[in-house]
Structure 1
Amino acid sequence: MTPPRRPPAASPDALARYYDAALATHGDTARGAGWPNEDDRRTRFDVMADIAGPRLAAASLCDVACGTGALLTHLAATGRAPARYLGVDISEAALDEARAKHPDVPFLTRDLLAAPDPALPEPFDYIVVNGLFTVRAEVDEGAMWDFMTATLARLWPFARRGMAFNVMSAVVDWTREDLFHVPQDRLCAFLFGLAGRRVVLRNDYDLYEYTAYVFREGAAER
């Protein structure tokens, strides 16, 4: 039996370089966040928000890998801003943009894996991680899997109601070397071990990815 890999001590530098380069080249746009277009990015934002549904307006939300705060901008524009929000990112350049757009909202610069306990300053009703686990750039697949699972395990204790994140689908005509394609059975095996079987995988929004919702409560209580 192969022993499990040790969790990384910090987030991969290659990912930080990738996203900082995209922002420097394309600015505060979908392409600047590593996405191909604005329509698809808005779809992803809506799918992230759907984990909470109508509860979001009265909930607290932690937006991990928040970048320039575009998710919060979208939620506010569509009348779904949470009652309390915290954005977390490793990139100072992205957070400078976020703070300029939302001067009264807290944004925290932190590498969650390298940070001392606690990983977050407090629990939140919902935690969303949009895009952090879709691109692997120069990171090899094994290291990317370790990074993703270590990050999710670090965040899960801070999610009161649920957590949402997306990865690239492995059910595609071809895979790209720079993206992180994750088989659903492998992801479920990890998530079941983390949180039990209160897991939903969403494949219904016509992009070459899927989103995992991980809940504290069973379906009847949501």
Structure 2
Amino acid sequence: MNEPLHGPSGRAETIAAFHAGLGLDGPTWRAAGWGSEDLQRVRFEALTRAAGYAGGTVLDWGCGPGDLYFHLRAMRLPLHYTGVDLNPAMVELATCRGVPGVSLLPVAETPAGRHDYVFLSGVFQFADPDDPLYYLSTLEHAYDISGRAVAANFLSANRPAAARAHDELYADPSVLMRFAAALTDRWRIDHAYHPQGADFTIALLR
């Protein structure tokens, strides 16, 4: 992969190029960038578990092909789903699969409205040397528009060096814990569900 471009526009282009390289004709978990269907599922389970998901209005920020929608629907809880993504190809794929409420999120814009739950799965894949903590402002906005909880997953700084890519973001769980504690006294972190401790999920609760 080429060196990632920096800033919101650059990150969007890097993400689009990454997914284009994976192709859109195979399994949707592969198009979304996960290593397997099982690894996608355990991340979705970690998100809903950490958020205490009990049904309601959901914003899937970075919805990709819409796999989270089908995961939530299978839980048979009340669901009003909204999905946004920076990548037009992903929005088209999700729409073609019958995922409701999906739209393109313009680069450098953030979602509006109010949602019981805001989920961000795979959104923070790439690093940005010009704005290394960009993910904190995104999380704070997600918390501001959530009514019950926001939950996001991250590649962990504890991931073994041999399993890292040079352009990806590996977040320090301790940084996220301090950030969470500054926003709310109700938060959870789960660093136990992924092999080798390579991934973690954090939720900020209302």
TM-score of the pair, normalised by structure 2: 0.83
Q: 1:128 to 1:20 in 2, by over 3 A?
A: same
In the TM superposition, residue 101 of structure 1 has moved relative to its aligned partner by 1.4
- Match among 111, 117, 124 for residue 115 of structure 2: 124
Where does residue 71 of structure 2 map in the other structure? 74
CA distance, structure 1, for counterparts of residue 21 and residue 180 of structure 2: 30
> Is residue 61–residue 84 contact of structure 1 (8 Å, CA) maintained in 2?
yes
Aligned counterparts, 1:204-215, within 5 A: 204-207=192-195, 208-215=198-205
In the TM superposition, residue 190 of structure 1 has moved relative to its aligned partner by 2.1
> Is residue 64–residue 128 contact of structure 1 (8 Å, CA) maintained in 2?
yes
Where does residue 187 of structure 1 map in the other structure? 176
1:63 aligns with 2:51: no
CA distance, structure 1, for counterparts of residue 170 and residue 177 of structure 2: 14
Q: 1:14 to 1:91 in 2, by over 3 A?
A: closer
| Matched residue SS, 2:203 | strand
In the TM superposition, residue 80 of structure 1 has moved relative to its aligned partner by 3.6
Greater shift, 149-158 or 22-31, is seen at 22-31
CA distance, structure 2, for counterparts of residue 80 and residue 51 of structure 1: 18
CA distance, structure 2, for counterparts of residue 206 and residue 9 of structure 1: 28
Where does residue 20 of structure 1 map in the other structure? 19
1:114 aligns with 2:108: yes
CA distance, structure 1, for counterparts of residue 113 and residue 59 of structure 2: 10
Where does residue 178 of structure 1 map in the other structure? 167
In the TM superposition, residue 128 of structure 1 has moved relative to its aligned partner by 0.3
Return 5+ residue gaps in structure 2 as ranges: 1-6
- Match among 196, 199, 206 for residue 187 of structure 2: 199
Where does residue 150 of structure 1 map in the other structure? 137
TM-score of the pair, normalised by structure 1: 0.77
1:161 aligns with 2:180: no
Q: 1:173 to 1:90 in 2, by over 3 A?
A: closer
Greater relative contact order (CA < 8 Å, ≥ 6 in sequence): 2
Count, aligned residues: 196
Q: Show CA shifts across 1:63-108 (max 9, x none).
A: 01001101112222x33454211001111111111111125x1112
In the TM superposition, residue 160 of structure 1 has moved relative to its aligned partner by 0.6
> Is residue 50–residue 202 contact of structure 2 (8 Å, CA) maintained in 1?
no
Q: 1:188 to 1:200 in 2, by over 3 A?
A: same
Counterpart AA for 1:203: H
Q: Show CA shifts across 1:146-165 (max 9, x none).
A: 2x122112222110111000
Where does residue 3 of structure 1 map in the other structure? none
